[in-house]
Amino acid sequence: MTGSGMKVVDFQNVDIIFGKDPQKALTLLDQGAERDEILAKTDNVIGVAGASLTIEEGEICVLMGLSGSGKSTLLRAVNGLNKVTRGKILVRDTDNLVDVASCDARTLRHLRMNRVAMVFQQFALLPWRTVAENVGLGLELRGMDKAERAAIVEEKLELVGLSQWKDKFAHELSGGMQQRVGLARAFATDADILLMDEPFSALDPLIRDHLQDELLELQQRLKKTIIFVSHDLDEALKLGTHIAIMEGGRIVQYGAPEHIVLEPANEYVAEFVAHMNPLNVLRGGSLMTPLEQLKREDDEVLLDRAGRVRVKLNGSGSPESVSLDGYLGRLTPYEPGMDIAALPSTALITAPCDMSMRVAIELRQATGQPVALVEDGKLVGVCGDEEIYAGILRQSSVADKAPETGL
């Protein structure tokens, strides 16, 4: 699920500095001074330095890093809660891009009311208002009349499954439900851009997991552009179509989840990666041994080194038949939700390249055979024991490189 190619939010060399004399801090920053040095010399805190990032329509971009890395600061600059000291943040407003850093108050208000909505870590619901009144806040600020508002509120509460709670006060709900109210409130204005500032961090792990799934499911339907702040790599990998890792106010690595996991740009990223679970992140395509590197004998492709598993390809490169130890096997396409444990050992599974590592291991364990990876019906590679081990080891080799910090 990648973006449609239309820029929605574009950070251009954004510096955000907190303090009384940001100009002096900028000068030092340009001379290459570090954060601590600038703090000591000018009493200014570098929130974000030199951040450039382009976010396209329909993406979920996760800003990720430890606390104090500037991820929230950068997020909050998109709707002007934090002021940009230098640089531009372009936000799409239908046909043109508006620079939040330099626009006037009216334009900013227009963006906040119609284009950008926000979900907060501590929910930030108004406790004296009912759930429905909270959800309708943005519409009320816009000046929409009560009847019109009620219909939209009803619809958005339906969306997050809280219709029957609409007349309760926010604090009568559990944390997970409160954050659903927060989500509904953000959806209510029909803004295309959603800013989510560690929205699930305050919740229990189980509830957090539920809400992540719900968000993904809603995103399938609503196709918002989401900027999501998280300090949890597993969350980032689960939700993000792209991840930007931040350290000390700078973006140190930006890319697709797999890219972050397989090629950490520095030790800081590597350390994050060392503690994550690779099973759901790595895909067959990045684990496999590609077709070109496989041995061929006559018209057969050997899927393992010993030559036990041989696949015959037809003229267009699609697997036609398979022999296992000389016996005829059965080519079985993988379907999500199939009963993996019931697969016979005579089956050779053909699976799409975006199959997760977890599925690859399950299939390998159930059939005893490697998994053939296909794309558009054609054989492109294989994922067997060696590839799976290599996938795990790539993790641990990364972890070995990371310094012991006792984290």
Partner 1 sequence: MDFIENYKIPLGNWISDFVDFLNDHAAWFFNFISDVLGFLIEGLIDVLQAVPGLLLIALIGAFAYWLHRSIWLVVGIVLSLLLIVNIGYWEETIETLALVIFATATCMIVGVPVGIAAAHRPWLYTAIRPVLDLMQTIPTFVYLIPTLILFGLGVVPGLISTVIFAIPAPIRLTYLGISSVPKNLYEAGESFGATKSQLLWKVELPHALPTIMAGLTQCIMLSLSMVVIAALVGADGLGKPVVRALNTVNIARGFEAGLAIVIVAILLDRICKQRGLNQKER
By CB under 8 A, the residues from 128 to 157 that bind partner 1 are 128-129, 137-138, 140-142
Among 35, 71, 92, 112, binds partner 1 (CB under 8 A): 112
- Smallest gap, in angstroms, from Cβ of residue 101 to partner 1? 17
By CB under 8 A, the residues from 152 to 181 that bind partner 1 are 171
By CB under 8 A, the residues from 175 to 214 that bind partner 1 are 185, 189, 195
Cβ neighbours, 10 Å, residue 207: 16
SS3 content of the chain, % helix, strand, coil (to 5): 40, 30, 35
Alpha helix locations (H) across 252-384?
Answer: 257-262, 267-274, 284-287, 357-367
By CB under 8 A, the residues from 72 to 91 that bind partner 1 are 79, 81
The CA dihedral of 318, 321, 324, 330, to the nearest 10 degrees, is: 100
d(Cα 199, Cα 232) in Å, to the nearest integer? 12
Nearer to partner 1, 45 or 324 (CB): 45
Among 90, 125, 229, 371, binds partner 1 (CB under 8 A): 125
Nearer to partner 1, 112 or 310 (CB): 112
d(Cα 103, Cα 71) in Å, to the nearest integer? 22
Cβ-count burial 88-105 (b if 16+ within 10 Å, e if not): bbbbbbeeeebebbebee
Contact 379, 372 (CB under 8 A): yes
Question: What does DSSP say about strands 225-230 and 193-197: parallel, antiparallel, or unpaired?
Answer: parallel
- Our measurement of the distance from residue 296's CA atom to the centroid of its chain's CA atoms, rounded to an integer in Å, reads 39
By CB under 8 A, the residues from 288 to 317 that bind partner 1 are none
Helix (H, G, I), strand (E, B) or coil at 61: strand
The CA dihedral of 145, 150, 153, 155, to the nearest 10 degrees, is: -130
224 binds partner 1 (CB under 8 A): no
118 binds partner 1 (CB under 8 A): yes
With CB under 8 A as the rule, give the number of residues binding partner 1: 29
Helix (H, G, I), strand (E, B) or coil at 200: coil
Nearer to partner 1, 112 or 364 (CB): 112
- Smallest gap, in angstroms, from Cβ of residue 127 to partner 1? 6
By CB under 8 A, the residues from 363 to 382 that bind partner 1 are none
122 binds partner 1 (CB under 8 A): yes
Residue appearing with tokens 């939010």: 9
Instruction: Count how many residues are written for the chain.
Output: 407
By CB under 8 A, the residues from 243 to 272 that bind partner 1 are none
Geometric angle at alpha carbon 26, from 40 and 73, rounded to 5°? 85
- Smallest gap, in angstroms, from Cβ of residue 192 to partner 1? 15
The CA dihedral of 393, 395, 397, 399, to the nearest 10 degrees, is: -140
Nearer to partner 1, 185 or 238 (CB): 185
Nearer to partner 1, 119 or 388 (CB): 119
Stretch that binds partner 1, among 49-57, 121-129, 242-250, 304-312 (CB under 8 A): 121-129
Nearer to partner 1, 126 or 338 (CB): 126
Contact 347, 330 (CB under 8 A): yes
Nearer to partner 1, 198 or 387 (CB): 198
DSSP 8-class letter at 320: E
- Smallest gap, in angstroms, from Cβ of residue 105 to partner 1? 9
Identity (one letter) of the amino acid at 170? A
Stretch that binds partner 1, among 14-22, 24-32, 125-133, 344-352 (CB under 8 A): 125-133
Give the contact letters, 8-37, x = binds to partner 1 (CB under 8 A), - = no: ------------------------------
Alpha helix locations (H) across 173-290?
Answer: 175-188, 205-222, 233-239, 257-262, 267-274, 284-287
Stretch that binds partner 1, among 56-64, 110-118, 144-152, 325-333 (CB under 8 A): 110-118
In the complex, the residues that contact partner 1 under the rule CB under 8 A are 79, 81, 109-114, 116-118, 120-122, 124-129, 137-138, 140-142, 171, 185, 189, 195
